[in-house]
């Protein structure tokens, strides 16, 4: 469990005067109530390897490559044209791929020998990227189960209703924190 998510020992928890200070005691520097920015699913080098992987099967247009990545992640990640096309240009300029028919309205790309060699050298990295996207797809699939959605909604609603009360004691806040930590432990062990 990452340190920012790990429950605090009782001594630390009891020494914190303001419950919102628990976030800093855990090492999380984000302000309470502020949403964290979603982490990047793929960086440019990951995307380039995926493009080479898809082109190793058959030539494709940029749009087809976007759809292939989207399909692999079950819709959880779709690279934008502003991400895919500059990477295609980079791969082409690096002689990893080539345009099949430069006269066509839409450029189709094919894998070149240098790109195939690079792909083979980076097979373990590609395997990890595909696994990461498959994990995202599993998350989407499992989380979309109606009972899971309902339970998450119920938890959020109960938490928000309770935390919205003005006269909530410090003890009650710590009880809520303990209940959330305990629920997280049970889910992790299930």
Delimit the domains of the chain by residue range: 1-37, 44-143
Instruction: Tell me the backbone φ, ψ of residue 32, rounded to 5 degrees.
Output: -65, 135
156-167 residues labelled b (16+ CB within 10 A) or e (exposed):
eeeeeeeeeeee
Residue 91 CA to residue 104 CA, distance in Å, equals 19
Q: What is the mean pLDDT of residues 52-70?
A: 96
Quote the mean pLDDT of the chain: 82
pLDDT surpassing 50 at residue 63? yes
- 116 confidence band (pLDDT: 50, 70, 90): very high
Joined together, the tokens standing for residue 144 give 């979309």
Predicted pLDDT at 74: 83
Joined together, the tokens standing for residue 58 give 């058959």
Give which of 90, 111, 1, 99 is closest to 43, Cα–Cα: 90
Predicted pLDDT at 65: 97
> Which of the following CATH numbers is that of domain 44-143: 3.40.50.300, 3.30.470.30, 1.10.10.10, 3.90.420.10?
1.10.10.10
Residue 20 CA to residue 101 CA, distance in Å, equals 60
- 39 confidence band (pLDDT: 50, 70, 90): low
Predicted pLDDT at 142: 82
Q: Is 183 exposed, middle or buried (0-12, 13-18, 19+ CB in 10 A)?
A: exposed
């Amino acid at each position: 469990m990452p340190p920012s998510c790990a429950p605090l020992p009782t001594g630390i928890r009891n020494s914190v005067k303001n419950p919102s200070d628990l976030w800093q005691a855990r090492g999380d520097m984000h302000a309470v109530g502020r949403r964290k920015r979603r982490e990047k699913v793929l960086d440019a080098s990951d995307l380039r390897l995926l493009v080479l992987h898809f082109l190793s099967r058959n030539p494709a247009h940029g749009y087809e490559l976007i759809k292939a990545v989207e399909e692999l992640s079950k819709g959880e990640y779709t690279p934008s044209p502003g991400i895919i096309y500059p990477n295609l240009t980079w791969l082409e300029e690096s002689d990893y791929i080539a345009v099949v028919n430069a006269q066509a309205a839409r450029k189709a790309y094919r894998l070149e020998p240098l790109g195939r060699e690079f792909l083979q050298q980076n097979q373990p990295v590609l395997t990890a990227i595909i696994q990461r996207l498959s994990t995202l797809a599993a998350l989407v699939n499992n989380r979309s189960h109606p009972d899971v959605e309902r339970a998450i909604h119920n938890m959020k609603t109960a938490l928000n209703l309770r935390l919205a009360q003005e006269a909530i004691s410090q003890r009650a806040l710590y009880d809520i924190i303990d209940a959330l930590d305990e629920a997280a432990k049970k889910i992790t062990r299930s």
